[in-house]
Amino acid sequence: MASTTKLMTAYVTLHRLALNKFLVAPPYHPIPGESLLGLKAGERMSVRDLLYGLLLPSGNDSAVTLADGVAGSTPAFVGEMNRAARRLGLRGTSFANPVGLDEPGNYSSPLDLAKLALRLRRERVFRRIVDTKRATLKTGAHPRRIVNRNDLVLEVPWINGVKTGYTLDAGHVLVGSGTRKGVTLLSVVMGAPSISARDADTLGLLRYGFSLYRRQTPVSEGETLAHRTVPNGDRRLSLVAGRTIRATVRRGQRLDVRVDAPRSVRAPIGRGERIGGAIVTVGDETVGRTPLLAGHTVSVAGGESLAGRVDDALPGPRAVAWAAVAAGVVMILIGIGALLARRRRG
């Protein structure tokens, strides 16, 4: 799994250390070709900046510094990584180091990497880091300008993560994520022969996933969703939606609009009066709610008022409509006053 190993390094760190804590970099002796942040032994850096150095340029020295800061040593930290994997149900995963170098006992599966990345995406700071194109780290011995090694974050507007990896044995690896149509999807590519193949396969997976979704507007503001009887009224009552609800629906999912309002209502009822509510669900998930409002005035049978008839004739929400009427009356009175003043002057 190469440097996607660092997803677990980040997970354990986020659950054990405060972001503003400073850690001291231990001595680190890389082999040729390792990705590094360039920390010197004894250099102090905040956990937040170390996480940026871990996840963007994929610094192995950042990983070892975090491991020592959490557990006191790399072997102890690896033990915590494996315990966390068992808690998260990652049955096809084992860790032998916190950086992702090829080593017996350091492996994972696409399913497990997806589970881990989805769990990490619950953390706001993680989402922010992996969706960063470039950053300047200021807490080390000198400022460092770093760039995200995930080319898709740099080039594709809707891609927002997550982590790349490469070793000779693993090939090119990318756990990717993107957000479109109001939904976020995750992909995992392992063992790709090149960066271009890795990125193309990631985009292919995500585009296929998004093709299964569509945006719908199950409820529009002002739309009549139900009717209710008014036993003492002069007519039935229409219940209209107070606001628009939009939803993203996956192919095969069921979208429902459920009305929650009394079966009958007593008059008098003013237009715009809240009577109940409506809930929109996709599958088992609630995706939106709206108040249900009286679509018109209902007077007591045989006693409809002039105000009620005027109210029904006015477009738009009741309060806004009557405010417009009041403004119009005021303007008329001002005009009459101005006319009378001119006549008096004449």
Instruction: Tell me where in the chain the CATH 3.40.710.10 domain(s) lie.
Output: 2-149
339 vs 23, higher pLDDT:
23
Residue 346 has pLDDT above 70, yes or no: no
Task: Measure the CA–CA gap between 203 and 185, rounded to whole angstroms.
Answer: 11
Mean pLDDT of 328-342: 73
| Helices within 92-147 (DSSP H only) | 110-120, 124-130
In CATH terms, 216-317 corresponds, of 2.60.410.10, 3.40.50.10420, 3.40.190.10, 3.40.50.2300, to 2.60.410.10
171-180 sheet: strands from edge to edge: 159-167, 171-180, 183-192
Residue 337 is predicted with a pLDDT of 72
CATH no. of 2-149 = 3.40.710.10
CA distance 90 to 85: 5
CATH 2.60.410.10 domain position(s) in the chain: 216-317
Find tokens 């009356």 and name the residue. 329
Among the listed residues 46, 58, 108, 299, the single catalytic one is 58
Quote the distance between the C-alpha of residue 28 and its chain's center. 37
CA distance 334 to 189: 72
Q: Is 163 one of the catalytic residues?
A: no
How far is residue 94's CA from residue 107's CA, in Å, rounded to a whole number? 5
Question: In Å, what is the CA distance from 261 to each residue of 237, 246, 269, 328?
Answer: 12, 21, 14, 35
Give residue-wise pLDDT tens across range 88-100. Answer: 999 999 999 999 9
Q: What is the mean pLDDT of the chain?
A: 92
Q: Give this prediction's pTM.
A: 0.81
Residue 306: pLDDT over 50:
no
Is residue 187 part of the annotated active site? The answer reads no
Please give the span between the terminal C-alpha atoms of the chain, in angstroms, as a whole number.
Answer: 94
**What residues form DSSP beta bridges with 185?**
178
Quote the CA–CA distance of 140 and 41 in Å, as a whole number: 11
Mean pLDDT (whole number) for 231-246: 96
- φ, ψ for residue 317 (rounded to 5)? -60, 150
Specify whether 220 is catalytic. Answer: no
